[in-house]
Amino acid sequence: MTNVNAASTEAHWLSGLATSMQDEHDYAPQVEGAIPPGLTGTLFRNGPGRFELGGVRKKHLLDGDGMIQAFDLDASHVRYRNRYVRTEKYIAEEAAGKLIFPTWTTRSPRGLLSNVGNRIKSQAGVTAVVKNNMLYAFDEVGLPYGLDPDTLQTLGQQAVGEPTARVDYKAHTKTDGHTGGWILLGVTYGRSMHLHIAEHNALGSLRFSQRVPAPRSAYFHDWFATQHYIVVSLQPVQPSFARFLTGLDSFTDSMRWRPDKGNLLMVIDRNAVQPPVIIPAPPTFMWHALNAYEIGNSIVADFVGYDAPDHFLGEHAAFRAIMDGRGGDQNYSGTLRRYIINLSQRSAVEEIVSSENHEFPMIAPERGCTPHRYGYFTTARGPTVFHNGLARVDMNTGAREVFHMGDKAHLGEPIFVPDPKAQDAEQGWLLSVGLDGATGRSFLAILRADRIADGPIAVLRLRHPTPLSFHGWWKGQGHA
């Protein structure tokens, strides 16, 4: 069954989110309103930018080559740039003038033998992270690629974590708001799945790493970190490595949603003093975590969860259908949920904080791994994964403040930028890259974080549409 709502019935305009950008730009966009005086720095966005080459089009929204977008902002000057990450895959296919390698869902067009084994290469097109003056572009394959944050020049794959480990690092990393430590998590597959945790100090040096066997193989995208623990939800999305490695299925098509298996919450000591604890939980699919923290001997972990991932997996999934300008299956809302994990009793309870539709959770950066009150999200009315609003939610009460752009608009992940002049870490702005379906052009909206309902205080209008960008990072002026 395909969900029918305002977003899906108007889905034809959403095809702009899956339209390739042929050119790399550098220009000053039109500004409506005024850039706040304290908002000085660069917003980096990362996401798929190219979906076809040599007459072959990718089959899934996750399959495009990574493209960094940069918005340079201050009160008197704005600048927009975009540049593809020159991955090994991108360079080889550019030279050949056609697609060569398989990606998550699109198999290599060169035949069965070209799809045997794991031939997927990094597209570096999911997250952007700036650490110690290096812009990292993460995928979920291998190491991240590095770029110069000033020029966007690709600097090649970057060694993070244990230098001898061959690990597929997850696209999401965590920054400890108290220590400034940068935590990465990767996986290796084989007869069993292992988790690899690497923590760097604030200056970038590797502080500690560990390799932990998982109780089962599962696909997950994001995870939690607190002051003392890593929490991984091994949700019941199980790949068939036999079908994938023999070339019969793409990696995505090999996955099955198995709610009868439930979730397993794997709680790992960040310093490896205590052995991991495995705690069962109800079946829930999660793309993104908001944050987690400790209260006594319990962990509170907030996230966006789905009863089933029909928008991601299946022949009619929305992420597949959008490639043809259709709405596709998206029957389950991403609701705000909370795990309360009791380590003494080795038990977990899942609660619903808000049953409204949300995604792309964000907190004030200083709250990472520590208690938070507010979460910032994209939102929409009804069960769609293509959102047209932003929400601020009080995670203690569930109270929401919301702004909607209208049924023919799309808004992406809200990046929180603290106001450098404010004493409260929750004072600042939200930056969201969106698509105006009426004009077919993209924009950057700037809103006050504590007054979302007022709408944008400034909008930067681009000259063209931009594909859906997944995640971003704010680099303030003078910050490495």
Q: Which residues are annotated as a binding site for Fe cation?
A: 172, 221, 288, 471
Number of structural domains the chain divides into: 1
pLDDT digits (tens, 9 = 90+) for 370-391: 999 999 999 999 899 999 999 9
Q: Flag whether 246 is in a domain.
A: yes
Task: Please say whether the beta carbons of 372 and 365 come within 8 A.
Answer: no
Question: What's the rounded Cα separation, in Å, for the pair 2 and 324?
Answer: 15
Q: In what order do the strands lie in the sheet with 26-27?
A: 26-27, 77-84, 65-74, 41-50, 471-476
Return the DSSP state at 218.
-
| Whether pLDDT at 65 is above 90 | yes
Q: Flag whether 149 is in a domain.
A: yes
- For 440-478, give the DSSP string: TEEEEEEEETT-GGG--SEEEE-SS--PPP-EEEEEETT
Pairing of strands 52-53, 206-213: unpaired
Q: Flag whether 412 is in a domain.
A: yes
The pLDDT confidence band at residue 479, using thresholds 50, 70 and 90, is: low
Span 334-350, average pLDDT: 98
- For 19-60, give the DSSP string: PPP-S--EE--EEEE---TT--EEEEEEEEEE-EETTEE-SS
Task: Please say whether the beta carbons of 40 and 73 come within 8 A.
Answer: yes
Q: How many CB atoms lie within 10 A of CB 412?
A: 28
What is the CATH number for 449? Answer: 2.130.10.10
Q: Flag whether 1 is in a domain.
A: no
Task: Please say whether the beta carbons of 156 and 143 come within 8 A.
Answer: no
H or E, element range at 94:
helix 88-96
Task: Please say whether the beta carbons of 125 and 18 come within 8 A.
Answer: no
Q: Flag whether 456 is in a domain.
A: yes
Ranking 162-166, 425-429, 446-450, 457-461 by mean pLDDT, the lowest is: 162-166
CA atoms within 13 A on the CB side of 171: 26
Q: Could you tell me the pTM of the whole model?
A: 0.95
Q: Flag whether 92 is in a domain.
A: yes
The structure tokens 């004072």 sit at 427
Span 197-226, average pLDDT: 96
Span 183-188, average pLDDT: 96
Helices (H) and strands (E) in the chain, counts: 5, 36
H or E, element range at 67:
strand 65-74
Q: Flag whether 83 is in a domain.
A: yes
Residue 12 domain boundaries: 6-476
Task: Please say whether the beta carbons of 415 and 436 come within 8 A.
Answer: no
The pLDDT confidence band at residue 11, using thresholds 50, 70 and 90, is: low
Report the candidate in 139, 364, 156 with the shortest Cα–Cα distance to residue 147: 156
pLDDT digits (tens, 9 = 90+) for 100-150: 998 989 888 888 878 888 888 999 999 999 999 999 999 999 999 999 999
Report the candidate in 336, 351, 337, 342 with the shortest Cα–Cα distance to residue 294: 342
Question: What's the rounded Cα separation, in Å, for the pair 261 and 237?
Answer: 9
Q: Which residues are annotated as a binding site?
A: 172, 221, 288, 471
pLDDT digits (tens, 9 = 90+) for 78-96: 999 999 999 999 999 999 9
